[in-house]
């Protein structure tokens, strides 16, 4: 199991990779959307924004994704929500885990609007 610090570093690397990606990939990352990534095994959620071709993590929260389906209704539900294990996040960013395979086998889930999914498909 990866640590919270290793997962935060992986998200920072992912943001750097997005910034260095080809223009057609960067355009998908140029969305301005709230994003959260819940790590089931650590029961930690990283919250932030996808914008300007990168991911800006603004908060680390205990427990699952915040939002109206939980008791913490004062926090908004992220527009793009990922759920996976800490090891899968690290492997995904390192290129050792294929996103499509992980999604198809339910190792990770991605919740977003249909419109955002169409745009994000360039990243996947």
Q: List the CATH number of the domain containing 89.
A: 3.30.1050.10
Task: Give every residue of the chain whose pLDDT is below 70, as ranges.
Answer: 28-29, 67-75, 122-124
Q: What is the pLDDT of residues 10-26, one digit of tens each?
A: 999 998 988 888 877 77
What's this model's pTM, rounded to 2 decimal places? 0.86
Residue 22's domain spans which residues? 4-66+75-116
- Give the C-alpha separation, 85 to 68, whole Å: 23
In the chain, the number of structural domains is 1
110 within a domain of the structure (yes/no): yes
pLDDT value for 17: 87
């Amino acid at each position: 199991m990866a640590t919270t610090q290793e997962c935060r570093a992986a998200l920072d690397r992912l943001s750097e990779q997005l910034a260095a990606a080809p223009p057609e990939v960067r355009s998908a990352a140029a969305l301005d959307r709230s994003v959260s990534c819940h790590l089931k095994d650590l029961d930690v959620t990283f919250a932030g924004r996808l914008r300007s071709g990168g991911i800006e993590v603004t908060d680390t929260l205990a427990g699952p994704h915040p939002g109206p389906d939980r008791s913490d209704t004062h926090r908004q539900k992220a527009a793009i929500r990922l759920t996976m294990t800490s090891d899968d996040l690290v492997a995904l960013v390192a290129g050792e885990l294929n996103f499509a395979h992980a999604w198809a086998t339910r190792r990770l889930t991605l919740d977003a609007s249909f419109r955002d999914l169409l745009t994000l498909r360039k990243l996947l």
